[in-house]
A and B are shown apart, each in its own frame.
Chain A
Amino acid sequence: RKEVEQDPGPFNVPEGATVAFNCTYSNSASQSFFWYRQDCRKEPKLLMSVYSSGNEDGRFTAQLNRASQYISLLIRDSKLSDSATYLCVVNGEDSNYQLIWGAGTKLIIKP
């Protein structure tokens, strides 16, 4: 089992719709969780950290489910500019310095 797994997609979603995707992780002791956004051939950029109680930033909501070991990202009222690959990141078990990256979920917002 991969340490961090994501559905690669692509998710094809009409503009204005709501879309959600999950990310599962294997290390039950993980404490740090993040969602990054990456545009094609660009560097990843932090979208939001994920907190135990869940958190919201505008149209984006992140949730953590420790019992089932997954985090989720919900995007409401999707915009064309939301088209990107969304990377799930979790701190690993071997080293405090290593973050384990999912391969990403590709999202395509269609007009």
Chain B
Amino acid sequence: DVKVTQSSRYLVKRTGEKVFLECVQDMDHENMFWYRQDPGLGLRLIYFSYDVKMKEKGDIPEGYSVSREKKERFSLILESASTNQTSMYLCASAGLAGFQETQYFGPGTRLLVL
């Protein structure tokens, strides 16, 4: 079974703090994604990566950066957390083609910025 893990289920941070959200997958997938989910807005793509050290902006990249130094790990960084970044953050991974294209999600990190 595919396993995608996220470093924290719940996180509370203060405005202005630097926040790191970690995601690890064990399926040797090339593609990894960070989404945020907010009530009434569905899932929105923040960034994705199709290979080590490669990254692409999604629909809402402002205020975020990412890092992919190893294939299995994709980190989301909030350089200076703000209250409007309070959200549920979801990581997903997927292979390149065919059945492997299916995206598998981690359990999510619920972030509260005070």
Q: Are A and B co-members of a single complex?
A: no
Which residues of A are interface residues toward B (Cβ below 8 A)? none
